Amino acid sequence: MRWTIPLLATSGAALALRHRILRWGATPAEAAAEYPGDMLVPAPTGCSTMATTLEAPPEEVWRWLVQMGADRAGWYSWDRLDNGGRPSSTRIVPQWQELREGDRVNATRDGRTYFTVAIADRPTTLVLRSDLTLPSGRPFDPRGPLPRMFTQGVWGFHLTELPGRRTRLVVRTIGRDAPRPLMAVADFLIGEPAHLIMQARQFANLRVRVRADENAPTGPSVASDPAR
């Protein structure tokens, strides 16, 4: 009995922390809302909603989001962790401004792991989907049999215009994985904290980029830097 109260307190703190991690920066209404792409993963086992406000209109924010990719502009997060140490672009690159449903967005530079564009509705909705076999990380066709170990999910970017040429960016993830007992532990200890760290960093770097873009002198489009 003497361990009951400490255990309950620890469990309560862990649940409260997890609740905050999964709703970082989002209002209760944003966390409860449904977004395009939410229904693409059947019987989901996980969901997160994170949000920030950016000092630029949706069209400007979209230009940064649409050029993401390991072989494109990077991910604007911790580049040593998710971009092979290659710096994410600090420029808008004209040839990376088009994405269509069904296009691939490489998660790794060699293209062995990738996202598929599920929705691209400029400038309000970009939803990337992944269906990966574990532990190899190789993509699989979700229309066929599910692997014994897998993870699949959507990473959705939802932009709403605010007064004053600002954007509310809500990032919704919906996921499903198996075998569930093992993956539930991995999600709690690794996946969910890692997503918070990477997403919060991306928000911060996007704020810097769109602010600099908004304050830049008007004129022709910024020259591309495909070598970056």
Predicted confidence (pLDDT) per residue in 195-221, tens digit: 999 999 999 999 999 988 766 654 333
Q: What's the pLDDT tens digit per position in 112-156?
A: 999 999 999 999 999 999 999 999 999 999 999 999 999 999 999
10 Å Cβ neighbour count for 98? 11
Angle CA 181–116–119, to nearest 5: 105
Do the domain assignments include residue 161? yes
Q: What is the pTM of this model?
A: 0.87
Q: What's the pLDDT tens digit per position in 26-69?
A: 999 999 999 999 999 999 999 999 999 999 999 999 999 999 99
Strands, sheet with 166-178, edge to edge from the N-terminal-most edge strand: 46-54, 166-178, 150-162, 125-133, 114-121, 104-106
Amino acid identity of residue 138, one-letter, is: R
CA distances from 18 to 5, 22, 196 (A): 20, 6, 10
Do the domain assignments include residue 216? no
Nearest-angstrom CA–CA distance, 91 and 223: 8
Do the domain assignments include residue 36? no
For the chain, the domain total comes to 1
- Give residue 88's domain range: 44-209
Rounded to the nearest 10 degrees, the angle between the axes of helix 192-215 and helix 58-65 is 120
Helix (H) or strand (E) holding 186: helix 180-186
For residue 43, what pLDDT is reported? 94
Mean pLDDT, the chain, whole residue set: 88
Do the domain assignments include residue 19? no
Query: What band does 17 get if pLDDT is binned at 50, 70 and 90?
Result: confident
Query: What band does 4 get if pLDDT is binned at 50, 70 and 90?
Result: very low
Do the domain assignments include residue 134? yes
CATH code: domain of residue 107: 3.30.530.20
